[in-house]
């Protein structure tokens, strides 16, 4: 009897320890969203090459999402795109290369149409958790994260304690309770890009953390290395940046024709003049996601 009691106690301790280990692997946003969750129903179909169908909401790493009566997830992307959404990632070229290194080729080339529905209205982060469970179940997806000391582009304030004219704490601007057509962008959280005159691009977002903003700026500035927030700014911010892609070009064409004359600032100039920030080369621990295993899903 004592032996049986000891075995049961050991089993209970082991199960408890495993549960604690699983919980400790969750990221802060996953814990805040309630941990592992599943869709009520989900269907998956492989699309013919070249067929594109837009998602019913942006699959970005921000919070731009308005739940309906039954939260639905409708999209047609590659497995790699779904992984980035499910784990709330916006990868640099270095990070993307690492993720694809061990992944099957079809994971980035084939598009799968997914229609799924939650049992009740949920948040965007809760939908991410449901997509995680679906990928593990239907694609037999197995991933892990690795942290390496890597070259990074550090985003810092050009002058300590001083913001640029186009960067403001969100608390000083319009609220997110409804669209504001008089401001850009009219809705919160979304990363919006639009033309702003001859050769000028305007991009901005409202009510996002500096971590999310640094991800947006990584894409704008086409940084090879991850852009790491080292501004020290806390809370959420609104920003608008206007720059000239022509002025930002690293090289000019070999064509005999003269390149077009830039009509506005380069990205780096606009970053400092408009947002009060600059980018410096540095090193930092960076998290890389690795796809260990994936299988083509059976259709239904």
DSSP3 helix / strand / coil % (the chain, rounded to 5): 30, 25, 40
pLDDT in tens, 79-109: 999 999 999 998 888 889 999 998 999 999 9
Higher pLDDT, 269 or 250: 269
Name the burial class of residue 109, with classes exposed (0-12), middle (13-18) and buried (19+) by CB atoms within 10 angstroms of its CB: exposed
Higher pLDDT, 24 or 96: 96
N residues, the chain = 300
Name the burial class of residue 132, with classes exposed (0-12), middle (13-18) and buried (19+) by CB atoms within 10 angstroms of its CB: buried
Q: Which two tokens stand for residue 167?
A: 């960067």
- Every domain of the chain and the residues it spans: 28-147+287-293, 150-246+261-286
Other CB atoms within a 10 A radius of the CB of residue 110 amount to: 16
pLDDT in tens, 164-183: 999 999 999 999 988 899 99
According to the model, what pLDDT value does residue 279 have? 93
Burial 5-33 (b: 16+ CB within 10 A, else e): eeeeeeeeeeeeeeeeeeeeeeeeebeeb
Q: Which two tokens stand for residue 164?
A: 């640029």
Mean pLDDT of 222-234: 87
According to the model, what pLDDT value does residue 227 have? 86
Mean pLDDT of 125-148: 96
Q: Which two tokens stand for residue 170?
A: 């969100």
63 and 29 in contact (C-beta within 8 Å)?
Answer: no
The band of 260, judged by pLDDT with boundaries at 50, 70 and 90, is: low
Query: Which residue, 279, 192, 196, is CA-closest to 239?
Result: 192
Helix (H) or strand (E) holding 278, with range, is strand 277-293
In which order are the strands placed within the sheet that holds 167-169?
167-169, 236-243, 201-209, 192-195
* Residue indicated by tokens 């970053």: 271
97 and 24 in contact (C-beta within 8 Å)?
Answer: no
pTM over 0.85, yes/no: no
56 and 64 in contact (C-beta within 8 Å)?
Answer: no
pLDDT in tens, 182-208: 999 999 998 999 998 888 999 999 999
Does residue 235 surpass a pLDDT of 80? yes
Higher pLDDT, 248 or 15: 248
Q: Which two tokens stand for residue 68?
A: 């309906």
Q: Collect contacts of 146-149 with beta carbons under 8 A, ≥24 apart.
A: 146/98, 146/287, 146/288, 146/290, 147/285, 147/286, 147/287, 147/288, 148/285, 148/286, 148/288, 149/283, 149/284, 149/285, 149/286
């Amino acid at each position: 009897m004592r032996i049986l009691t000891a075995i049961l106690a050991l089993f209970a301790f082991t199960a408890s320890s495993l549960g604690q280990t699983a919980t400790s692997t969750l990221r802060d946003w996953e814990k805040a969203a309630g941990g592992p969750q599943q869709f009520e129903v989900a269907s998956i179909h492989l699309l013919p090459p070249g067929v594109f169908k837009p998602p019913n909401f942006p699959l970005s790493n921000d919070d731009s999402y308005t739940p309906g009566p039954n939260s639905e997830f409708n999209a047609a992307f590659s497995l790699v795109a779904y992984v980035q959404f499910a784990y709330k990632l916006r990868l640099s070229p270095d990070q993307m290369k690492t993720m694809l290194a061990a992944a099957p080729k079809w994971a980035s080339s084939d598009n799968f149409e997914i229609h799924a529905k939650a049992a009740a209205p949920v948040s965007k982060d809760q939908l991410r958790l449901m997509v995680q469970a679906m990928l593990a179940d239907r694609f037999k997806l197995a991933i892990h994260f690795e942290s390496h000391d890597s070259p990074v582009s550090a985003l810092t304030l050009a002058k300590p304690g001083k913001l640029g004219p186009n960067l403001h704490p969100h608390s000083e601007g319009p609220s997110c309770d409804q669209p504001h057509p008089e401001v850009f962008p009219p809705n919160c959280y979304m990363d919006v890009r639009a033309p702003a005159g001859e050769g000028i691009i305007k991009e901005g977002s409202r009510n996002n953390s500096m971590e999310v903003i640094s991800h947006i700026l990584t894409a704008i500035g086409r940084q090879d290395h991850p852009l790491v927030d080292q501004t020290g700014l806390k809370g959420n911010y609104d920003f608008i940046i206007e720059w000239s892609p022509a002025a930002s070009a690293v090289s000019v064409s070999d064509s005999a024709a003269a390149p077009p004359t830039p009509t506005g600032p380069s990205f780096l100039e606009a970053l400092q003049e408009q947002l009060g920030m600059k980018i410096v080369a540095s090193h930092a621990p960076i998290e890389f996601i690795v796809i260990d295993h994936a299988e083509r899903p059976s259709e239904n």
